[in-house]
């Protein structure tokens, strides 16, 4: 018998699970880069590289947010009314 205990929503979807995994990955990267940038002096020569990586992580996050919400809505619409 399959269990849905590890699922975010029931019934869930592989697409939603993928978007959520990508969101969590991007959030972790953003947290790490933000902490790193806070610790660097403004004149540090590596700031530009880390700021670029932060921008890329934010863009990645944005890329997955809207599709995740759309898929979430689709999954919720398929759920039985209780």
pLDDT class for 16, splitting at 50, 70, 90?
confident
Which tens digits make up the pLDDT trace of 53-77? 999 999 999 999 999 999 889 888 8
Which tens digits make up the pLDDT trace of 5-14? 666 665 578 8
Q: Output b/e per residue, 16-26; b: 16+ Cβ within 10 A.
A: bbebbebbeeb
Which residues 6+ apart lie within 8 Å of 15 measured at CB? 67, 71
Q: What is the DSSP letter of 80?
A: P
Q: Per-residue pLDDT for 82 more than 60?
A: no
Whole-model pTM?
A: 0.76
């Amino acid at each position: 018998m399959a269990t849905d205990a590890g699922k975010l929503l029931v019934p869930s979807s592989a697409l939603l699970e993928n978007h959520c995994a990508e969101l969590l990955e991007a959030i972790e990267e953003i947290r790490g880069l933000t902490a790193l940038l806070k610790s660097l002096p403004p004149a540090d020569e590596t700031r530009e590289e880390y700021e670029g990586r932060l921008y890329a992580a934010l863009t990645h996050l944005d890329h997955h947010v809207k599709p995740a919400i759309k898929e979430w809505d689709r999954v919720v619409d398929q759920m039985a009314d209780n």
